[in-house]
Chain A
Amino acid sequence: MVKSVTSFGRSGLYDWLIQRVSAVVLTAYSVFMVIYLLNNPDLTYAQWEGLFEMTSMRIFSLMALMSLGAHTWIGLWSVSTDYIKPMGYRFAFQMVTGAFMFAYTIWGIQLLWGL
């Protein structure tokens, strides 16, 4: 058993599962967005605002946002443990990544509920 305290869930299985589930959510969200935009070529701001005022859309968007944060964190954490060997640089990279993910998630929540 390899101890790891900076990975997302501190379990290989948990991280692996979250990576897959978040990928499915992000795919579904992307497909939905592409289909919506293709079906609304003359999209107005009012329509766009209406879409994001729906609770279901806000939940779907938040789910996609959280998935993006978790997916990116797990992916970049793996990259850092593969390629950045000096512990100081690796930990700094992980902290910066974590700070960005946290900021983007909070900012996204503010955007979704701030309309």
Chain B
Amino acid sequence: MLTVSVYRYHPEQDQKPYMQDFQVDTGGKDLMVLDVLHLLKEQDSGLAFRRSCREGVCGSDGMSINGVNGLACITPLSECVKNNQLVLRPLPALPVVRDLVIDMEQFYQNYERIKPFLQNDTPEPAIERLQSPEDREKLDGLYECILCACCSTACPSFWWNPDKFVGPSGLLQAYRFLADSRDTATEERLAELDDPFSVFRCHGIMNCVSVCPKGLNPTKAIGHIRNMLLSRGT
């Protein structure tokens, strides 16, 4: 039997959050954490968590799994369980709506801030804006972000200043458009980021890199943005 300790909070019923222990029979299988949550749901149908694709694509089930942010659907028990115990909490830093469900408003506002869409003022070509294979390659490691918020909510700079520091996820996306050969708003994008918080509050501790379920490297992207700002400003 696996002991699963889950963060519970129902704002209409509970005065404050608490941890609830469950005993789960995994049948000796190396289940994914999401499978365990479904087994818990059979014990308590009131348990709330987000999930959708159950294969690490939608980014819905980001949560703190034994203290490390990750996606429940692609985290096997063998990777996270210690002393036959599993502790599940909502992603830190963002307000809890209920149980493991968080309010991601701030995270999306930061994403919106970096204008995550292609900007190009030149006349549209007859068919489409072409890109060389080399230029397309520059977007690898950037476009794959699924906005699960595991990285930003693992970042202390985001914890302290979520309304000012864009956060690793937003900055990875910012660089995705700065690096895009078809985007012509580079100057405007960089001008928006040249303040003491938006980019420069990153101290390079690389929590984002260690938790990213897609294996991406936001710290490296932030370094590229810094270098672009440096080239522009010196």
Contacts and interface: CB of A to CB of B under 8 A. Distances in A.
A13 B192 contact: no
Contact of B195 (A1, A17, A82): A1
By Cβ-Cβ distance, the 3 closest A-B pairs, closest first, are A12-B200, A82-B160, A2-B197
A77 to B, nearest CB: 8
Of listed B160, B195, B196, residue having the most chain A CB within 10 A: B196
Interface in A46-89: 78, 81-83
Interface residues of A, number: 17
A4 interface: yes
Contact of A4 (B156, B160, B197, B229): B197
Nearest to A15: B196
Of listed A13, A15, A17, residue having the most chain B CB within 10 A: A13
Contacts of B233: 11, 13-14, 17
Interface of A: 1-4, 7, 10-17, 78, 81-83
30 contacts: A1-B191, A1-B192, A1-B193, A1-B194, A1-B195, A2-B195, A2-B196, A2-B197, A3-B195, A4-B196, A11-B195, A11-B196, A12-B193, A12-B194, A12-B195, A12-B196, A12-B200, A13-B200, A13-B226, A13-B229, A13-B230, A13-B233, A17-B234, A78-B201, A81-B161, A81-B197, A82-B157, A82-B160, A82-B161, A83-B160
A2 B157 CA distance: 15
Contacts of A17: 230, 233-234
Interface in B139-189: 156-157, 160-161, 164
B207 interface: no
B4 interface: no
Contact of B226 (A4, A16, A78): A16
A63 B226 CA distance: 26
A12 B160 contact: no
Nearest to B229: A13
Contact of A2 (B164, B229, B230): B164
